C-alpha cells in the first residue's frame, strides 16, 4: 500500500504526515489492519527497538474534585462508588510506589485529583518525591496535579520531579463539550509551563468519547506542535455514574488504528497505552505493543487493570522486553535537545487522566448516545464486566496490583 510506505519513510525521517494521510490511517479497512500495524511497527522499532517501558500510578488523593470533566469518575457530582481519600503521607506514597517498582516499573506517576495544586500541595508532593527517590535509587518521578500556577513547575523540578503530565484529551473544537470548569487553553498553558521549567512534558488524549476522526487528528497534531516527550493514549472507560457511562464507541481494531496514527504523527516520542486498554483492546493487547513502547503496570487511579503478572507475561510472549532502569527511553536527539525536558533524564510523562491531568484516565469524552455508538461501531457490545472500581492499593489496607 503506497500510503503505508510513504508513512514509514516519513516516520523514519521524523517528517510530519499530511492530515489527509493521518485520516486515511483511521479509515483503513479491517482487511488492511495487519499491514497498518506492521508499518507503524517499523517506525516504533526504529526509534525504540523492542523495549517496553513500565510505569506505575500512585493516586495521592482520590475523588473530591471540583472540576466537571465528563469522563472522570472523580468529577464533581459523580455517583461512582470510587475510593475517596485525602492526601497520602510521603511514606504511604513511597510504600505504594515500591510495589510497582518491584514489579519492573522504572517510572512512578504521582497523581492527585483537583483543579490544580496550592503551594502547600506542592510542598506535600515535594516531600513525597524526596521520600520515593531516597528509598528507590534511579527511579523516575512524574507529577500530575492539574493546572499549574506560575512558579509551581520550577518548584517541582527543584524537588526532584523528572516530568509533568497534563493531557489535552480532545480537540480544541470539542473541548467545551466535555468540561466547562476550565478551558483547552488552560491545559496548553500548563504543558508549556512544564516545558519552560525543564520538566519532561507528557500530554495525551482520550479516544472513544464520541469524537470524529477529524477531532482525533486535530488533537494529535496539536500534541505534535506542543512537542511532549510522551503521549499517553487513553481509551474511554465508561464508568457508571459519569455522563459518558453509555459511550461504547471503540473496537479493538479502531484502537489499533488510533495507536498507529499517533505513532506516524509522533514517531520518536514515547507513545503509552494508558487507561482502557484491557476494556477495549482485550485479547489484542499484544498487537498494540508493536505500536506503543510504554504501558502502565497493574491498576489505574480508580479502576482495576490487568494483573501485573499478566502484563509481564504478555510482553514476554509477544517477543518484547521490559526496559531496564539503566536504559535510555528516548532517542538521543530528544534527550539532548535544548529546553526539551529532563536534561539527564530521558523519558517522559505520566498518562492516567481522571482529574485535570494525568495519562491513564478512567473515563473520558465528548458526548453521544448508546444508539449512536451502536450505529457507528456495529457489533461492539458494552463490556461492563471489564470495568471494576479499584478496591486495593493506595488508600486501602490491601496489597496493590503490581
pLDDT band for position 137 (cuts 50, 70, 90)? confident
CA dihedral in degrees (346, 267, 147, 359; nearest 10)? -90
Q: What percent of the chain has pLDDT over 70?
A: 89
Binding annotation for [2Fe-2S] cluster: 109, 142, 202, 272
Domain count, the chain: 1
What Cα–Cα distance (Å) separates residue 313 from each residue in 56, 105, 272, 285? 17, 14, 18, 12
d(CA 200, CA 194): 7
Biggest alpha carbon–alpha carbon distance for the chain: 56
Segment 227-233 mean pLDDT: 97
pLDDT of residue 369: 34
Cβ atoms of 38 and 3 closer than 8 Å: no
Q: Does the residue 70 lie in any domain?
A: yes
Q: Does the residue 136 lie in any domain?
A: yes
Residue 251's domain is classified under what CATH number? 3.20.20.70
d(CA 21, CA 244): 30
Q: Does the residue 148 lie in any domain?
A: yes
Q: Domain of 358?
A: 2-386
d(CA 231, CA 263): 10
User: Full-prediction pTM beyond 0.85?
Assistant: yes
Q: Count CB-CB contacts under 10 A for residue 77.
A: 9
The position carrying cell 527497538 is 49
Cα four-point dihedral sign 235, 219, 323, 4: positive
Catalytic residues: 65, 69, 72, 109, 142, 202, 272
Q: Does the residue 397 lie in any domain?
A: no
pLDDT at 316 over 50: yes
pLDDT tens for 13-54 read 999 999 999 999 999 999 999 999 999 999 999 999 999 999
Q: Count CB-CB contacts under 10 A for residue 179.
A: 21
Q: Does the residue 48 lie in any domain?
A: yes
Binding annotation for [4Fe-4S] cluster: 65, 69, 72
Cβ atoms of 65 and 355 closer than 8 Å: yes
Q: Does the residue 115 lie in any domain?
A: yes
Q: At what angle do helices 152-159 and 119-135 cross, to 10 degrees?
A: 20
pLDDT at 342 over 70: no
Binding annotation: 65, 69, 72, 109, 142, 202, 272
Q: Does the residue 395 lie in any domain?
A: no
What Cα–Cα distance (Å) separates residue 327 from each residue in 53, 109, 252? 10, 19, 31
Q: Does the residue 300 lie in any domain?
A: yes
Amino acid at each position: 500500500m503506497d500510503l503505508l510506505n510513504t508513512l514509514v519513510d516519513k516516520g523514519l525521517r521524523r517528517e510530519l504526515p499530511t492530515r489527509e494521510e493521518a485520516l486515511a490511517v483511521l479509515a483503513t479497512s479491517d482487511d488492511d489492519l495487519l499491514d497498518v500495524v506492521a508499518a507503524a511497527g517499523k517506525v516504533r522499532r526504529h526509534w525504540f527497538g523492542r523495549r517496553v517501558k513500565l510505569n506505575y500510578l500512585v493516586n495521592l488523593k482520590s475523588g473530591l474534585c471540583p472540576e466537571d470533566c465528563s469522563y472522570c469518575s472523580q468529577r464533581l457530582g459523580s455517583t461512582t462508588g470510587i475510593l475517596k481519600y485525602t492526601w497520602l503521607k510521603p511514606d504511604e506514597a513511597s510504600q505504594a510506589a515500591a510495589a510497582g517498582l518491584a514489579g519492573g516499573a522504572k517510572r512512578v506517576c504521582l497523581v492527585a485529583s483537583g483543579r490544580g495544586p496550592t503551594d502547600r500541595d506542592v510542598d506535600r508532593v515535594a516531600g513525597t518525591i524526596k521520600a520515593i527517590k531516597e528509598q528507590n535509587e534511579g527511579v523516575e518521578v512524574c507529577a500530575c496535579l492539574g493546572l499549574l500556577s506560575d512558579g509551581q513547575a520550577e518548584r517541582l523540578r527543584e524537588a526532584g520531579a523528572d516530568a509533568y503530565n497534563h493531557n489535552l484529551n480532545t480537540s480544541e473544537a470539542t473541548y467545551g463539550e466535555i468540561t466547562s470548569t476550565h478551558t483547552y487553553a488552560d491545559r496548553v498553558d500548563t504543558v508549556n509551563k512544564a516545558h519552560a521549567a525543564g520538566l519532561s512534558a507528557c500530554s495525551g488524549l482520550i479516544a472513544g468519547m464520541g469524537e470524529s476522526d477529524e477531532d482525533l487528528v486535530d488533537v494529535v497534531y496539536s500534541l505534535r506542535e506542543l512537542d511532549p516527550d510522551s503521549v499517553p493514549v487513553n481509551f474511554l472507560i465508561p464508568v457508571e455514574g459519569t455522563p459518558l457511562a453509555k459511550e461504547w464507541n471503540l473496537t479493538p481494531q479502531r484502537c489499533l488504528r488510533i495507536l498507529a496514527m499517533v505513532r506516524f504523527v509522533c514517531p520518536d516520542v514515547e507513545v503509552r497505552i494508558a487507561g482502557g486498554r484491557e476494556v477495549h483492546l482485550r485479547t489484542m493487547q499484544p498487537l498494540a505493543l508493536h505500536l506503543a513502547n510504554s504501558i502502565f503496570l497493574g491498576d489505574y487511579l480508580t479502576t482495576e487493570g490487568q494483573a501485573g503478572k499478566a502484563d509481564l507475561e504478555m510482553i514476554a510472549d509477544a517477543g518484547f522486553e521490559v526496559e531496564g532502569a539503566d536504559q535510555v527511553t528516548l532517542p538521543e536527539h530528544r534527550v539532548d535537545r535544548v529546553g526539551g525536558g529532563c536534561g539527564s533524564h530521558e523519558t517522559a510523562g505520566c498518562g492516567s487522566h481522571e482529574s485535570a491531568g494525568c495519562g491513564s484516565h478512567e473515563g473520558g469524552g465528548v458526548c453521544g448516545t448508546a444508539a449512536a455508538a451502536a450505529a457507528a461501531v456495529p457489533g461492539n457490545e458494552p463490556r461492563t464486566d471489564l470495568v471494576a472500581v479499584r478496591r486495593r492499593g493506595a488508600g486501602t489496607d490491601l496489597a496493590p496490583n503490581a
